[in-house]
Amino acid sequence: MNSFLPFTRPTIDEQTIAEVAQVLRSGWLASGPKVKAFEAALSQYCGGRPVRTQTSATASLEHALLACGIGAGDEVIVPAMSFVASANVVVRTGARPVFVDVNLDTRNIDLDQAEAAVSARTRAIMPVHLCGMPVDCDRVYALAERHQLRVIEDAAQAMGSSYRGRRIGSFGDLVCFSFHPNKNITSIEGGAVVGGSPEEVHELELHRFHGQEKSAADAFETYFAGGKANLTDVAACVGLGQLRRLEEFNARRRDLAARYFELWGEDAPLALPARGDAGHNWHMFAARLPLERLRISRLEFIEAMAARGIGIGVHYPAIHLFSAYRALGYREGQFPNAERIGRETVTLPLFPAMSFEDVGRVVHATNEVLREAKR
């Protein structure tokens, strides 16, 4: 009997577990030497750029926006297809997310629409490297230069991806990574902002700890009513163990994705994701169901796969159709590609501990369910 195959699962090795136990025994559990070491390792990975960690990539994105001075009355261009956090953080600063559509195959931001969406209030653009597929960074930064915009890269899913041979995070404006358990590396929960001027890096430090700065053992100053989002040493220790295996993990992801394409060839019964190039880290393998040709719904497909021992994810609903964004005036029909992806997408299992046999199980089960569901 095959065990249940989830759509993703983190790999934590015994060395990391032992190192976490050492941190627990040390008595230093909050931000300390491990956080400094993790930030230094991430900086080295990103070509020596400054790195500041947070407790989530959501906090990373929000703090990056705030460090750029974005707030009430400003607009930020955001793709309508992403996790809702990409837009939520804009709203939380007091600014307005201005949605644009995405490419149906790559799922990344439509830069022609982005350019058309620039207004006198636009302060920034937030491209999302969805599923780890890098956006066209040359075009993004050319657009930003033409209109004097900041670029906040939502690279939550792009750890280890590269664009034209350059690692995402090693160049550009402010780049935000996620270390959620579902990501290519994890710190249990966590995120990081890469880049920024010395003044902006200082702002990031203030935003993650109450807007407060300590200048001596008995000297504190609080500059604004900040929140609290400082990473723990326990989380950073997990992150360090994961980072040393990032290239191994991503190489395995690429092999597994290649196996999906090999087994399905030209006859896949669903729309496979765009393949991209060697710079794709294959954070997720998200395909689209041909619902117009099926007698079952997406939910029924997910249930049929679960009955065969295979977990399926959904990444993501189109952001502008949520109630919070309908309340801002957005409506169905504005961004058809994002809406279609949101309706049809299913995320198939893909994580480093999978075997080629597991990929075969997924392909066989998908073929079987969709064959039986044809109209």
The amino acid occupying position 261 is: F
- Examine the pLDDT at 205 and tell me if it is beyond 90: yes
Q: What positions carry a catalytic annotation?
A: 183
- Domain containing residue 130: CATH number: 3.40.640.10
Residue carrying structure tokens 């407060």: 212
237 and 316: one domain? Answer: no
Q: Provide the domain count of the chain.
A: 2
Whether omega before 316 lies within 30 degrees of 0, making that bond cis, reads yes
With beta carbons less than 8 A apart as the criterion, state whether 92 and 101 touch.
no
pLDDT of residue 229: 98
- Domain containing residue 251: CATH number: 3.90.1150.10
239 and 250: one domain? Answer: no
Element (H, E) at 199: helix 198-207
CA-wise closest residue to 296 among 344, 260, 332: 344
The neighbouring-strand residues paired with 310 are 5
pLDDT (mean) for 4-8:
97
20 and 93: one domain? Answer: yes
- Examine the pLDDT at 1 and tell me if it is beyond 60: no
What span, in angstroms and rounded, lies between the C-alpha atoms of 214 and 29? 19
Residue 9 lies in a domain: no
pLDDT (mean) for 337-356:
98
Residue 334 lies in a domain: yes
**Percent of all residues in the chain with a pLDDT value above 90, rounded to a whole number:** 97
65 and 183: one domain? Answer: yes
- Examine the pLDDT at 24 and tell me if it is beyond 80: yes
pLDDT of residue 217: 87
> What three-state secondary structure class fits 57?
helix
pTM of the model: 0.97
CB-based contacts of 362, cutoff 8 Å, min separation 6: 5, 260, 310, 348, 349
pLDDT (mean) for 328-340:
98
pLDDT tens, 234-285? 999 999 999 999 999 999 999 999 999 999 999 999 999 999 999 999 999 9
Residue 8 lies in a domain: no
Residue 355 lies in a domain: yes
70 and 165: one domain? Answer: yes
State which residues form the domain around 352: 246-372
pLDDT tens, 36-47? 999 999 999 999
